[in-house]
Amino acid sequence: MNHKKVVLIFLFLILFNVGIAQEETISAEEQNLNVEGSVVNETNETETTQEPIKEIEEIIFKNFIPKEFKLGTAQFSIQIQNNKNETLSNLAALISGKGFSTYEVTPVESLEPGEKGYILVNGDFKESGLINLTIRINQKISYQEVNVLGESEEDLEKAEALLKQQEEKKKALAVLSSNLEILKQNYSGLESQIKQKEGEGYDVKDVKLEELKKYIRQTQASILGEHLEEARVNLGLAKEELNAVEAKIGTLEKLPFMSRFREHLIVFSSIAGAIITFFALYELLKKKGKEAVTTMGSIKPKAEEKVLEVKEEEAKHKEIKEEEKAEQKEEKKKTKKKKA
């Protein structure tokens, strides 16, 4: 490819992208001016009505399920909500009360801002009657009164009815759990479908799965905490959100040609830039190579001249030595003649 043509193509791509960027900058500046104007007005209105900042509680206790137990082993869940603007992790509970001992606690691994979750507690009640439990989570303390059924006839009848309720609840929760698994599979299918549509050039920026994902997590947490009614509500909301997303995918339209062209152009610009850089580097190395060859060519004659000079010096030195030897021989002959 002719290097000049490559450079011209590259310059065209740069100018095209600069023009688009300027249009976007102008529209963004206009939006910023409108937003800044409204913010200034709102600030002026609220400056006179500022209130002292109150410290936000990190955790809010929402629910405690169940509140009635039999003597002996028991399981209950503590529903909490993250009231901070940051994610909270590894939230466990310390529970104490008359005649109660804990032997296992399943913490909440993480809670997003505003999200609810359940801490599961397994323990043992050794005394009957109304027991006041103290619950501590991350320095936050709450109290919960529970009723522990004893050995009286009335309490035994209540315990039997409680056992039936728990069995019915477990069956209902099992059905909800099965429905939730189907919903999770549908969620994965939607993810794949959105990626496929995006690859085919459809505008998918308004198709969001965050709400659906949130309802799925809340349903899962409700089932784990054995909060039957809340699990039903969250599962219903999740199904509605799923249907809404599916309907939105069905009405997707392909991106305009210029938008798709621009996206491909950006990719092509990057590739073209890399190619031009490669050619520039190749030409530079080629030029350096020629200079190196020229330099070596100039060095070679100089080296040969130096070798010749050394050889000439050695030849002269040899001739001088031979002359000296000849003179010494002549001197010896003359000395012998004189003695004779």
H runs (alpha helix) in the chain: 3-47, 153-199, 210-224, 228-250, 257-339
Confidence of residue 130 (pLDDT cuts 50, 70, 90): very high
Query: Cβ distance 134 to 97 under 8 Å?
Result: yes
Domain membership of residue 92 as a residue range: 59-151
Range of weakest confidence among 22-31, 111-120, 146-155, 295-304? 22-31
- The sign one gets for the Cα dihedral 263, 264, 267, 268 is negative
> Is the residue at 111 inside a domain?
yes
Quick check: helix, strand or coil at residue 108?
Answer: strand
DSSP class of 85: S
Residue 268 has pLDDT above 90, yes or no: no
> Is the residue at 223 inside a domain?
no
Residues with Cβ < 8 Å from 140, sequence gap 6 or more?
Answer: 57, 58, 59, 61
> Is the residue at 227 inside a domain?
no
Residue 320 has pLDDT above 60, yes or no: yes
Confidence of residue 187 (pLDDT cuts 50, 70, 90): very high
Number of domains comprising the chain: 1
b/e map 53-79, b = 16+ CB within 10 Å: eeeeebbebebbbbeebbbeebebbbb
Q: How many CA atoms lie within 13 A of 212 on its CB side?
A: 21
> Is the residue at 71 inside a domain?
yes
Residue 281 has pLDDT above 70, yes or no: yes
> Is the residue at 123 inside a domain?
yes
Residue 98's pLDDT is 93
Q: Could you give the C-alpha distances from 122 to 55, 77, 102, 316, in angstroms and in order?
A: 33, 9, 6, 109
Residue 92's pLDDT is 92
What gap in Å lies between CA 308 and CA 251, rounded to an integer? 90
What gap in Å lies between CA 57 and CA 61, rounded to an integer? 10
Confidence of residue 273 (pLDDT cuts 50, 70, 90): low
Instruction: Please choose, from the candidates 241, 249, 239, 244, the residue with its C-alpha nearest in 3D space to the C-alpha of residue 196.
Output: 249
Give the mean pLDDT of the chain.
78
N-to-C CA span, the chain: 97
Range of weakest confidence among 83-92, 251-260, 275-284, 300-309? 300-309
In the sheet with 100-106, reading across from the earlier edge strand, the strands are: 59-65, 72-82, 116-125, 100-106
Residue 228 has pLDDT above 50, yes or no: yes
> Is the residue at 104 inside a domain?
yes
Cβ burial of 2 (10 Å; 0-12, 13-18, 19+) is exposed
Query: Cβ distance 72 to 101 under 8 Å?
Result: no
Residue 163 has pLDDT above 50, yes or no: yes
| 207-230: average pLDDT | 90
Question: To which H or E segment does residue 112 belong?
Answer: none
Range of weakest confidence among 107-116, 220-229, 299-308? 299-308
- Taking the model in full, what pTM does it have? 0.55
Query: Cβ distance 136 to 97 under 8 Å?
Result: no
> Is the residue at 138 inside a domain?
yes
Residue located via tokens 């040609």: 257
Query: Cβ distance 59 to 82 under 8 Å?
Result: yes
**Greatest mean pLDDT range, 212-216, 261-265, 328-332:** 212-216
- The sign one gets for the Cα dihedral 178, 180, 184, 189 is positive
CATH of the domain at 133: 2.60.40.10
What gap in Å lies between CA 338 and CA 308, rounded to an integer? 45
Confidence of residue 47 (pLDDT cuts 50, 70, 90): very low
Residue located via tokens 């010896």: 332
Query: Cβ distance 289 to 30 under 8 Å?
Result: no
What gap in Å lies between CA 33 and CA 48, rounded to an integer? 24
Residue 323's pLDDT is 76
Residues 6-38: pLDDT tens digits? Answer: 556 665 666 555 555 555 555 555 555 554 554
Cα Dmax for the chain? 163
Residue 157's pLDDT is 87
> Is the residue at 82 inside a domain?
yes
Per DSSP, the chain holds a count of helices (H) and strands (E) of 5, 10
Residue 35's pLDDT is 45
Confidence of residue 39 (pLDDT cuts 50, 70, 90): very low
Range of weakest confidence among 47-51, 56-60, 85-89, 316-320? 47-51
Query: Cβ distance 245 to 204 under 8 Å?
Result: no
